[in-house]
Amino acid sequence: MSARGPRDEIALLVENLTVHYGPIQALHGVSLRVRQGRIVVLIGANGAGKSSTLSAIAGAIRPSGGRVVFQGEDVTNERAPQKVARGIVLVPEGRKIFANLTVRENLELGGYLQRSAVRMRERLGHVYALFPRLAERENQLGATLSGGEQQMLSMGRALMSEARLLLLDEPSLGLAPNLVSEIFARIEQLNQEGLTILLVEQNAHKALAIADWAYVLETGRVLAEGTGAQLQADAKVKQAYLGV
């Protein structure tokens, strides 16, 4: 049993989620489940609603319908700071680090809820152990980091808040293949440590390879779901998203 809760209980339940941007409806009744200690993946074409789903779960946007339940509590209308305090943390697409702050300052901002200096040091140590390059560049400005290092910093900043559910939005976007492999290795390592992960990823091959369960989104609707292996073997999924 993980310290974060019994493995395989429902950590996150999303039911009939709808999202509008003005008159445009981005999500049409999306429902999904994320079990404790598992990696769940959302794949789909650009504009399918993947990022909108994560943003609604994280409290970055307000759903227009449906509900979001985290560890048995309805958190649908809570704002992002409340959800971060619960342990729901989003690593946004595009990294969005603070370019004019150092690596350490970025990380300390991620740990703004930490009330103990000892716990802050422990979280920093965990992030630096996970991403040694961040320790090496602790005093460098975020703007001076490579794309891969900025992604590590974005993930590390999220982990400073003691995430219980990590929402990852396109973590491999724009990275060289060797860095993509490194990022995915760290995702698997975090999951092995007990962290529950909901991953949005364009690299469907790599995402489905590590997924315990996966959903295919198309025009704001769930088109298919299954284990990573099942979707990798699905003819329609292979043709549309795996280039087979």
Give tens-digit pLDDT for 25-67.
Answer: 999 999 999 999 999 999 999 999 999 999 999 999 999 999 9
Alpha-carbon distances of 113 from 109, 144, 189, 211, rounded to whole Å: 9, 27, 24, 30
* Strand-strand pairing, 213-218 and 39-43: parallel
For residue 81, give the DSSP letter: H
Percent above pLDDT 70 for the chain: 97
Poorest-pLDDT segment among 2-6, 25-29, 233-237: 2-6
Structure tokens at 217: 């989104």
Structure tokens at 202: 């364009």
Query: Please, which residues have CB within 8 angstroms of residue 215's CB and are 6 or more apart in sequence?
Result: 32, 40, 41, 42, 43, 222, 224, 225
Rounded Cα–Cα distance for residues 214 and 123 (Å): 30
Question: Helix, strand, coil % (nearest 5) of the chain?
Answer: 40, 25, 35
Rounded to two decimals, the pTM is 0.92
Alpha-carbon distances of 130 from 109, 136, 188, 227, rounded to whole Å: 18, 12, 11, 27
Residues across the chain: 244
Residue (of 69, 71, 51) closest to 61 by Cα position: 51
Q: Which fold has domain 10-241?
A: Rossmann fold (3.40.50)
Poorest-pLDDT segment among 1-15, 169-183, 221-235: 1-15
| One-letter identity of residue 59 | G
Rounded Cα–Cα distance for residues 79 and 140 (Å): 32
Q: Predicted confidence band at 183 (pLDDT cuts at 50, 70, 90)?
A: very high
| pLDDT for 231 beyond 90 | yes
| One-letter identity of residue 241 | Y
H or E segment and range at residue 221: strand 221-226
Rounded Cα–Cα distance for residues 224 and 217 (Å): 7
Q: Predicted confidence band at 3 (pLDDT cuts at 50, 70, 90)?
A: very low
Matching residue, tokens 């103990």: 116
